[in-house]
Amino acid sequence: MCEGGRVKAREVETVKRGGGAKMVCMFKSSLIVLLVFIVFPLAVCHGEENSSERTKNIVLTPADQLILDAINKVSERIDKVNGRIDNLWITMLGGFLGVMAFIGALVFWDRRTFLKRAREEFRNELTEDRNKMEGVIAALNKLGGKFPEVQEVLRSFGLM
């Protein structure tokens, strides 16, 4: 923008008009993006079609044919291994789902035993809490004999 401390008149005019240089830069960037993502893939696809047409009329030597046969055999073996892996994947998924279903069924079936045990524990805790509350009420009744205010409060709540 500056050469030797001087600003070019054209650049000053561009900045005054609202940054036309930014617009030119954005246009160039969008043009590059367009070329990279649209034109280049089309050219690559077109190039592949032409290369396949060229290879149709090639005559192979017996050594080349043996190499291609070996490649085809290896490709078939890879396809078989892929099939086995797919079957193994399905088997493992089925086994996992079966184990999860078994665990879920066991939990669902065992809920009665769990509920019975939970009820017993709740009753025991409730009995312990009731005994503690009765002890607190008995202590307050003793205090009620010495303090008439405590006795009035116990009567108002029906605890005496």
Q: What angle do CA 23, 8, 5 make, to 5 degrees?
A: 120
> Among 62-66, 77-81, 111-115, 121-125, which stretch is predicted with the lowest mean pLDDT?
111-115
Q: Which of 5-14, 55-64, 98-107 has the highest mean pLDDT?
A: 98-107
Q: What range defines the domain where residue 89 resides? A: 66-106
- C-alpha 155/C-alpha 59 separation (Å) is 114
124 lies in the same domain as 137: yes
Does residue 106 carry a pLDDT above 70?
Answer: yes
5 lies in the same domain as 51: yes
Q: Where are the beta strands (DSSP E) in the chain?
A: 2-3, 6-7
116 lies in the same domain as 151: yes
* Res. 17 pLDDT band, cuts 50 70 90: low
Beta-bridged to residue 6, according to DSSP, are 3
114 lies in the same domain as 94: no
**Per-residue confidence (pLDDT) for residue 78, from 0 to 100:** 94
* Res. 137 pLDDT band, cuts 50 70 90: confident
**Per-residue confidence (pLDDT) for residue 57, from 0 to 100:** 74
Nearby residues of 11 by Cβ (< 8 Å), 6 or more positions away: 1, 21
Contact present, 9 and 15 (Cβ < 8 Å): no
Over the Cα atoms of the chain, what is R_g? 45
81 lies in the same domain as 115: no
52 lies in the same domain as 8: yes
Does residue 138 carry a pLDDT above 70?
Answer: yes
* Res. 45 pLDDT band, cuts 50 70 90: low
